[in-house]
Amino acid sequence: MTPPPADESPRAGPPESLVHSIIHGVLGIREWRRAAMLIVLGLAALVGAIVWQARERLVAAMAAFLEAPPHLMLADRAVLEATALGLVNTAVRPDYGVVIWAVTLELNRRRLLVFAPGDVAPSPELTSELHVGYIAPLFMRGSRSNAIIVAVLDGETACGEPLTYQGHVEYACAAGIPPGPGPLIGMIAALFPRRLSEYDQETTRSALQHAAETLTVYR
């Protein structure tokens, strides 16, 4: 009996890989289209490799972008009090003392948070403004003391006639919290009964600016 003829049809081999199929397809294209597709595929492969290598940084950057920005706040009351007392007991030694206010620019308002008294008792009119929780305008119409507030808003640590509402202080130096240009959430000031020399002004401004830098926290 004659054996049946062998099946000469080609057997199906293993499936080609995706990359091999793409290359085979591209090579089957003629003329300029082949070159264009090769360029596009090469660029896509390069971008993919870069993204894969930097995937952890990209994920971290995206997470940081989606997170809510930190909220700028004043330090805890204990830190405010310790800072004010430190200025009173150091070389600055403001005669009337040191005050720290919380500032709300939108409401033109300042609220006294801390008063660290110095060696000289303030006048009775000024004493009424030195109670913790006292609220007064930040800017006052027709007051020359607005100049020191404007200087602080411009990022300076300034000296001059201080901001008082009822009492009177002859001289003060003040720094914004945080110091420098940008958002303003508070102020710290050293109060004096006399105008300071240029050297004392520079020393006081430097001490206030350093102190103001420690009174800001991000939460």
- Per residue in 9-55, pLDDT tens? 455 444 455 556 656 665 655 565 666 766 777 777 777 777 777 77
Tell me which residue has tokens 């403004």: 129
pLDDT of residue 38: 66
**pLDDT of 7 above 90:** no
Average pLDDT over residues 69-96: 88
Choice between 90 and 207, residue whose per-residue pLDDT is larger:
207
Confidence of residue 209 (pLDDT cuts 50, 70, 90): very high
User: What is the token pair recorded at 1?
Assistant: 């009996």
- Which residues lie across from 171 on neighbouring strands? 192
SS3 135: strand
* 166 neighbors 129 (Cβ within 8 angstroms): yes
Q: Assess contact for 101 and 112: CB atoms under 8 A.
A: yes
Tokens found for residue 99: 């005050």
Look at residue 107 and tell me whether its pLDDT is greater than 70: yes
- Asked if residue 39 and residue 79 are part of one domain, the reply reads no
Cis peptide before 181 (omega within 30 of 0): no
pTM across the whole model: 0.67
Residue 112 lies in a domain: yes
Q: What is the pLDDT of residues 121-169, one digit of tens each?
A: 888 777 888 889 999 888 877 666 788 888 999 999 999 877 665 667 8
Give domain status of residue 55, yes or no. yes
Euclidean distance between CA atoms 133 and 78, whole angstroms: 16
Q: How many domains does the chain have?
A: 2
The verdict on residue 84 lying in a domain is: yes
- Report, as an integer, the average pLDDT of 55-79: 77
Considering only residues 64 and 44, tell me which one the structure prediction assigns the higher pLDDT. 44
| pLDDT at residue number 136 | 87
First to last CA, the chain: 94
Task: Please indicate, yes or no, whether residues 48 and 155 belong to a single structural domain of this protein.
Answer: no
Query: Which is more confident, 63 or 87?
Result: 87
d(CA 30, CA 86): 82
Strand residues in the chain grouped as ranges (E):
72-74, 97-104, 109-117, 135-137, 158-160, 171-177, 186-192, 216-218
Answer for the pair 58, 194: CB distance below 8 angstroms, yes or no.
no
Tokens of 156: 């300076």
Q: Where among 5, 39, 66 does a domain terminate?
A: 66
Q: Domain residues for 42?
A: 18-66
The reported pLDDT for the residue numbered 31 is 61
> Torsion angle of alpha carbons 80, 183, 172, 81, nearest 10°?
0
Cα dihedral 99→102→105→107 (10° resolution): -110
Can you tell me the mean pLDDT for 55-70? 69
User: Which of 72 and 30 is assigned the larger pLDDT?
Assistant: 72
Q: Is the pLDDT of residue 76 over 90?
A: yes
Q: State yes or no: cis peptide before 183, omega within 30 of 0.
A: no
Q: Go through the chain and tell me how many residues it has.
A: 219
Report the pLDDT value the prediction gives residue 13, as an integer from 0 to 100: 45
Judgement on whether residues 28 and 84 belong to the same structural domain of the protein = no
Same domain, 77 and 35: no
